[in-house]
Structure 1
């Protein structure tokens, strides 16, 4: 495992994402095994996050973004490549990002995942990129361009690409879908007919076994809430399940609650 971690850190060093550090700060490295046998590394900034005051930069609401797409007939979907790592850290901030391995101390030169200020800063950047582009919308590193006709869409894409070059941001080519009449965006299928829940996501929810613990119940309720626009009277229907989330309440189903899960 350590060899895999060292290999990732060597890649980050070579890419200029991190550097060796002498900072008095040292957050804990977290290693997450991936299905393909490789590892993903992140950092637990729990202590640092407790000391950082957020500026409250809001994320765009998903429902507002989706409601804006109903006039679209042609769509292009993009994902920014390693989005946070494209943002250069302020020089004074770099020592605060330091993290330790069993033998070494590193610090980030690019914006790290795990710091609670990172999403807010990235939202600021991407909002500047798409500002003034009427038919380009972004939710963190997911971007959609849309238009009513192909020529206007191409012109819109050109302006978007100019902005990316201006801010020195790069897209993930393998995740791009350009000039499509149907596309998946933020867990929804977008088409000239409108917006509907992504079938793959819906099947995952409908085939989810009844939850047996609070974590599973939260996951189910979170998935249902995300599609609440399409589920009539959802808040009323899940009220018995929400009561199970209260502290000190044992996760014990009544027959009625079981029926609620099956119905939903």
Structure 2
């Protein structure tokens, strides 16, 4: 969060006054600002990486290439001060779910629960 914006996040409780020093998602512009931050951090990786808010997709042709992409991505995240969730990560899978789709070597399709609703 920008230093001069911190004062606008102040709130009080019976225990005292507090301010956010990182941007909470409840702020009106937080998603847009967060997306821009992520886009800027990873723009040089756009040949194999897609960012949608806090969901990141890394696409590779081979396992060896994927491991190299992961290394570059991790180095960039560290350099940019971006924290990653190991629990949320799905790594080295031939097929994954991403934003309502199943992605894999056979192409892209809607997730099963979504296609059932449409049928």
Once the two structures are TM-superposed, the CA of residue 104 in structure 1 deviates from its matched residue by 3.7
Residue aligning to 2:27: 115
SS at match of 2:4: coil
Kindly report which structure 2 residues correspond to 1:1-264, keeping only aligned pairs within 5 A, or say none: 89-101=1-13, 104-133=16-45, 134-203=47-116, 206=117
Instruction: State the Cα deviation string for residues 20-49 of structure 1 (Å, max 9, x = none).
Output: xxxxxxxxxxxxxxxxxxxxxxxxxxxxxx
Across the aligned residues of Structure 1 and Structure 2, the Cα RMSD in angstroms comes to 1.8
For structure 1, which runs of at least 5 residues remain unmatched after alignment? 1-88, 207-223, 225-263
Q: 4+ residue runs of structure 1 moved beyond 4 angstroms? A: none
From the superposition, tell whether residues 189 and 105 of structure 1 become closer, same or farther in structure 2 (CA, over 3 Å): same
SS at match of 2:92: strand
Once the two structures are TM-superposed, the CA of residue 124 in structure 1 deviates from its matched residue by 1.7
Q: What TM-score, normalized to structure 1?
A: 0.42
Q: What TM-score, normalized to structure 2?
A: 0.88
Once the two structures are TM-superposed, the CA of residue 155 in structure 1 deviates from its matched residue by 1.1
SS at match of 1:144: strand
Distance 1:202 1:102 in 2: 50
For structure 2, which runs of at least 5 residues remain unmatched after alignment? none
